Amino acid sequence: MGRRKKTMNEKGPKLLIVESPAKIKTISKFLGKDFRIMSTFGHVMDFPERRLGVAFTQDNKIELEYVPLKTKSTTINDICKQARECSEVFLASDPDREGEIISWHIGQQIEKVFADESKIHRITFNEITKPAIIEAIKHKAKVDINKVYAQQARRVLDRWVGYEVSPILWKKIAKGLSAGRVQSVALLLVCDREQEIQTFKPEEHWSIHAQFMLSTKQVLSAELFKISSKAFKLKNKEEAHKVLNALASEQFAVTKITDKKRLKNPQPPFMTSTLQQDAYNKLGFAVEKTMKIAQRLYEGVPLADGSPEALITYMRTDSLRIADTALSAVREFIGGEYGKDYLPKSAFTYAKKGAQDAHEAIRPIDVRITPTQIARFLSPDEAKLYTLIWKRFVACQMEAAEYFQRQVLIDGGKFTFKATGSTLMFDGFLKVYIVEDEEEEENVKIPKELEEKMPLVLQKPDSKQHFTQPPPRYTEASLVKELEKKGVGRPSTYAAILSTIQKRGYVDKENKRFMPTELGKAVTEMLVKNLPDIVNVNFTAKMEDSLDKIEQGKENRDNVLLSFYEKFKEDLEKFGGQEASRKVIVTDVPCPECGSPLAIRFGRTGEFLGCSKYPECKFTSPFTRDEQGKITLIEKTAAESELTCPQCGKNLVKKMGKFGPFLSCPGYPECKYIHQEKLKMPCPLCGKAVTKRRWRGGSFWGCSGYPTCKFAIFGAVHEEPCPKCASPYLLVVKNKDGSTSHVCPDKACGYSVVIAGPESADT
């Protein structure tokens, strides 16, 4: 096939190429007929699927091989064909490393057919507004090759680890596993935390509390603070009771009252990691869900006139910088909406050490577009996230909240009690954005009549038993926070990291907290032993810093990669050269058939117990493990059921699958029937059957017409119509107090009735 002739139409329209097709409508209304807008639909080129794509030259340079993605040849051809008819080309993919290499790749393809390479420009914008895009077009630039090199370095590192380590894990543990430069560190953090929890030994300690009566009959609650002017620790009940007995003979009086003003300052605007954390903690959104919703708010959603409008700035950023125009707008809004008392004399500025600062913080594009105004145009989840972003941004430029704080010390003999009371005097930024202060002391009511030297009467002294607690398991929010704190990964990677370790079966979630599976522990143990740099937090953070320096032009891409590969190759050869026996974890549970120890093994459907004497003994069983690590065998469920196969008439049997037990025909593979539980009611959207489906996170009811119909119910169902609105079903909901309710799925209806108290909620 001959090379296409380079052409361009000097009088033709201009071509602007974006990364996501969702931006096309939003941008089109700004640029008019002079521009044609096309999308790459993400990346267009990548390393080959079945080859490493990374090679060394004789002079120790690194060569990369890129090929068009399978589904992108038509996209590339369409863009190149359009470019030949245009006078100028503007590469406008996202303003990060991934966006830069997308522009570089598609730009290289366009150069093959476009006559004047000087008319191919790179532009970036942090918000999809007309002023921002017009300004970007005025500031034409070339692709930032250092940013491209940084992306390539990260991709090569991940390619080496994934492409060369994963096959060894397949041989030594189970097929389908993967290792990753950052995901393996995230898994290590989860495994290390679990180890801390398992080895934690709680320590007992006691606290002393009392109530003191004033002469006015007012009561003040306080806690024992010091004994003989020193901090103390009561280790057991006996020591606590000695103190209680000694208190009875003492006379108490107020010795010191300290009043002070305390300020609570607003938090910075959101960056990616803090948005993910707050959306999880306040809205219950998974990290991946937050990023998907934020992407829609950034690209544009239809408002009053039906045309899409972008609502927030770019959502992948580690910067806290705010544009001057945005600061002026929000200060004007605060003064007009809340009054001058809420407006600081000058704008607050925020900075994060080590931030790439290529973009702004995450903020609303137009602060005058309030959540209330546009809620009806957004989905409920979009409205919630926009509200969170809007409130955080407005609050970050408001005055601090002001508290009046009073601390009271009460002495009697060698004992000193303390009481602290705090009153909010001015709400400041709290008027817009509520902050939960985890470090806030317990607040008590301090009587106004209290004075120094005032005698008090001791009443109701009591002791409370406490035990030190192990560190909590990570939630999605706290794991992101820990990764960010340690400098591992970048804003654009957190969602993918959390998704990968779950999809690979390395972690499970219990009460929304990560627990490593036996598979995850086995992979981590093997990597720590054989490839220590891959799962070294400091090493990974240092590598992230090196990638930043490549982007800044301070480090050479090939030098950084070679320094990693020399040690990696040495470790890899030792690891791969070892005997490829499958990893098993021997337990102290005896085999029911031969008495030998059972071992945890890993197969295509997950973990299972098998006899350590295999193949002499072929006993296997699924199992569970409690929080203390105790293993319990799950009774095999291959028992015959009363249901018959509708295809061949045999009695169905219970089997254990990847996502739990299920019923299927014993005539497999001749008969492949699998029984599906279904509701009596048809799908309210399309009329087809609603069946139970299972996935790693549990089960749900979904329309059998999926993907055409996406109706789904997450949770237990009570198949009786709602007595208030006639909805065909009710949800079975467990309440915080342990009771169970039947609740209408239509929130607008609001019907709810308690059907079981706390004691019978599980029946």
Rounded to an integer, what distance in angstroms lies between the CA atom of residue 398 and that of residue 335?
A: 9
Residue 439: per-residue pLDDT: 42
Residue 754: per-residue pLDDT: 82
Residue 452: per-residue pLDDT: 93
Residue 607: per-residue pLDDT: 79
Altogether, the residues listed in the chain come to a count of 763
Residue 763: per-residue pLDDT: 24
Q: How confident is the model at residue 640 (pLDDT cuts 50, 70, 90)?
A: low
Rounded to an integer, what distance in angstroms lies between the CA atom of residue 67 and that of residue 77?
A: 14
Q: Which domains does the chain have, with CATH numbers?
A: 14-143 (3.40.50.140), 151-200+480-577 (1.10.460.10), 204-265+401-467 (2.70.20.10), 291-324+332-395 (1.10.290.10), 585-633 (no CATH)
Q: How far is residue 486 CA from its own chain's centroid?
A: 16
Q: What mean pLDDT, rounded, does the chain reach? A: 87
Residue 314 annotated in active site? yes
Q: How far is residue 268 CA from its own chain's centroid?
A: 19
Rounded to an integer, what distance in angstroms lies between the CA atom of residue 90 and that of residue 124?
A: 10
Please compute the mean of the pLDDT values over residues 48-60 and round it to a whole number: 88
Task: Reply yes or no on whether the pLDDT at 518 is more than 50.
Answer: yes
Residue 396: per-residue pLDDT: 97
**Residue 514 backbone zone (phi > 0: left; psi -120 to 50: alpha; other: beta):** beta
Identify the residue with better confidence: 206 or 612.
206
Residue 414: per-residue pLDDT: 95
Rounded to an integer, what distance in angstroms lies between the CA atom of residue 108 and that of residue 102?
A: 10
Please compute the mean of the pLDDT values over residues 486-506 and round it to a whole number: 87
**Hey, is 677 helix, strand or coil?**
coil
CA end-to-end distance (rounded Å), the chain: 72
Task: Reply yes or no on whether the pLDDT at 627 is more than 80.
Answer: no
Residue 15: per-residue pLDDT: 95
Are the CB atoms for 615 and 582 separated by under 8 Å?
A: no
Task: Reply yes or no on whether the pLDDT at 1 is more than 60.
Answer: no
Identify the residue with better confidence: 60 or 194.
194
Task: Reply yes or no on whether the pLDDT at 610 is more than 60.
Answer: yes
Q: What is the DSSP string of 174-201?
A: -TT----TTHHHHHHHHHHHHHHHHH--
Task: Reply yes or no on whether the pLDDT at 343 is more than 60.
Answer: yes
Q: How far is residue 612 CA from its own chain's centroid?
A: 39
Please compute the mean of the pLDDT values over residues 665-683 and round it to a whole number: 78
What would the pLDDT profile of 289-303 be if each residue is shown by its tens digit?
999 999 999 989 988
Q: How confident is the model at residue 685 (pLDDT cuts 50, 70, 90)?
A: confident
Are the CB atoms for 466 and 204 separated by under 8 Å?
A: yes
Please compute the mean of the pLDDT values over residues 443-462 and round it to a whole number: 90
Are the CB atoms for 1 and 78 separated by under 8 Å?
A: no
Task: Reply yes or no on whether the pLDDT at 696 is more than 70.
Answer: no
**Hey, is 728 helix, strand or coil?**
coil
Task: Reply yes or no on whether the pLDDT at 723 is more than 90.
Answer: no
Task: Reply yes or no on whether the pLDDT at 139 is more than 80.
Answer: yes
Question: Position 377: which residue type?
Answer: F
- Token output for 406: 């009073």
Identify the residue with better confidence: 545 or 354.
545
Task: Reply yes or no on whether the pLDDT at 647 is more than 80.
Answer: no
Task: Reply yes or no on whether the pLDDT at 326 is more than 80.
Answer: yes
Q: Which helix (H) or strand (E) holds 237?
A: helix 237-247
Please compute the mean of the pLDDT values over residues 566-572 and round it to a whole number: 89
Residue 761: per-residue pLDDT: 32
Task: Reply yes or no on whether the pLDDT at 246 is more than 90.
Answer: yes
Task: Reply yes or no on whether the pLDDT at 605 is more than 80.
Answer: no
Residue 661: per-residue pLDDT: 65
Residues in a beta bridge with 141? 122
* Percent of the chain surpassing pLDDT 90: 49
Rounded to an integer, what distance in angstroms lies between the CA atom of residue 432 and that of residue 333?
A: 13
Rounded to an integer, what distance in angstroms lies between the CA atom of residue 348 and that of residue 600?
A: 56
Of 396-405, 426-435, 650-659, 664-673, the range with the lowest mean pLDDT is 650-659
Are the CB atoms for 40 and 102 separated by under 8 Å?
A: yes
What would the pLDDT profile of 156-191 be if each residue is shown by its tens digit?
998 998 888 988 888 888 777 778 888 899 999 999
Please compute the mean of the pLDDT values over residues 697-707 and round it to a whole number: 81
Task: Reply yes or no on whether the pLDDT at 441 is more than 60.
Answer: no
Residue 604: per-residue pLDDT: 62
Please compute the mean of the pLDDT values over residues 16-42 and round it to a whole number: 90
Rounded to an integer, what distance in angstroms lies between the CA atom of residue 242 and that of residue 219?
A: 24
Question: Of these residues, 149, 314, 386, 494, which one is catalytic?
Answer: 314
Residue 278: per-residue pLDDT: 95
Residue 581: per-residue pLDDT: 61
Report which of 297, 287, 271 is spatially closest to residue 23, judged by C-alpha positions: 297
Task: Reply yes or no on whether the pLDDT at 491 is more than 50.
Answer: yes
Q: How far is residue 149 CA from its own chain's centroid?
A: 28
